[in-house]
Amino acid sequence: MKHLLKFCSDTYYVYWREIKHFWQQKTRVFMSVFQPLVWFVLMGSTMNNLTTGLANASGTDHAQLAQQFLDGAPNYLTYVVGGIVAMTTLFGGIYGGTSVVWDRRLGFLQKMLAAPISRASIPLGKMLAVAFQALLQVAMILLLARLFGVHFRTGLPGLAVVMLLASLFALGMSGLSLALGARIKSMETLFAVMNVLTMPLIFSSPAMFPARAMPSWLLAIAAWNPVTYVLIPMRALIYKGWLWPELLRGGGLILAFATAAGLLAVWQFRSSHA
């Protein structure tokens, strides 16, 4: 019990430090809000006009077109909300590993390793901080979406679940990233690896473009992409409703992913040295 309390306290103060950093970097706070706005306004509005424009030009009923091509979403903006949430949390999570490379460069990692704290506290505290930031970003995205006229089918309780799922996903991605950061000691290599990972993960999932628009080989890849499984329950909550089987299956998979990634990160830190 005493050990557990100390462990929680140690983890909390790793988290505390990360959050202090976050609030102090005004540009980082600003960027975390600005980035989703850019995606939403540029990508979202343009695509929205494209899909409605196509429907009007071909003379088809828009609702029918959306039903067919947009996975049942009433319009593209509503469709893409989940995609932007997934993308933002993926990016935020995967860059979580860079903090450990910085800490190593500045010698702070060694200071943490020399302190009488459990090594598991270090990745866990950092993961929680990334998840907290993701929570803020997702709240911003959902607020923006509302302002742009997106109607949420499951209301506030549903949105709370979306936020929970998204931050769990960020937690998992940051665990993966921290595990990499514990091994890959150069910032340049780590960035290269992350860049190679992020874009393909997004575009081989139905985050931005619906599955109906994907060629069959891409669909085959999407079936193995974790991002796909994050999108299913979130989209259900946003424009379909409380579809329990999808929610439980998606939520369970994300939870399993986050747990596995967290364990991987902890394991990497236990065996790593400054």
Q: Which is nearer to another protein, 113 or 211 (CB)?
A: 113
Instruction: Please give the size of the binding site for another protein, defined by CB under 8 A.
Output: 27
116 binds another protein (CB under 8 A): yes
Asked if 10 touches another protein (CB under 8 A), the answer is yes
Check binding of 212 to another protein (CB under 8 A). no
Residue 108 binds another protein (CB under 8 A): yes
- Amino acid symbol at 161: V
What does the angle CA 225 – CA 205 – CA 124 come to, to the nearest 5 degrees? 50
Among 85-93, 102-110, 128-136, 216-224, the segment contacting another protein (CB under 8 A): 102-110
From the list 112, 120, 161, 238, which residue makes contact with another protein (rule: CB under 8 A)?
112
Q: Which stretch binds another protein (CB under 8 A): 71-79, 104-112, 157-165, 228-236?
A: 104-112
Is there binding between residue 270 and another protein (CB under 8 A)? no
Among residues 107, 147, 156, 215, the one that binds another protein under rule CB under 8 A:
107
Exactly one of 50, 110, 212, 244 binds another protein (CB under 8 A); that residue is 110
31, 41, 50, 106: residue in contact with another protein (rule CB under 8 A): 106
Whole-number Å distance between alpha carbons of 154 and 177: 32
Q: Does 193 bind another protein (CB under 8 A)?
A: no
Smallest separation (angstroms) from another protein to the CB of 202: 29
Tokens standing for 228? 């796909």
- Per rule CB under 8 A, is residue 183 in the interface with another protein? no
Report the site for another protein in 16-55 (rule: CB under 8 A). 16-17, 20-21, 24-25
Burial readout 15-54 (b: 16 or more C-beta within 10 A, e: otherwise): bebbeeebeeeeeeeeebeebbeebbeebbeebbeebbee
- In this structure, are residues 197 and 174 in contact, taking their beta carbons and an 8 Å threshold? no
Residues that bind another protein (CB under 8 A): 6, 9-10, 13, 16-17, 20-21, 24-25, 104-108, 110-117, 185-186, 273-274
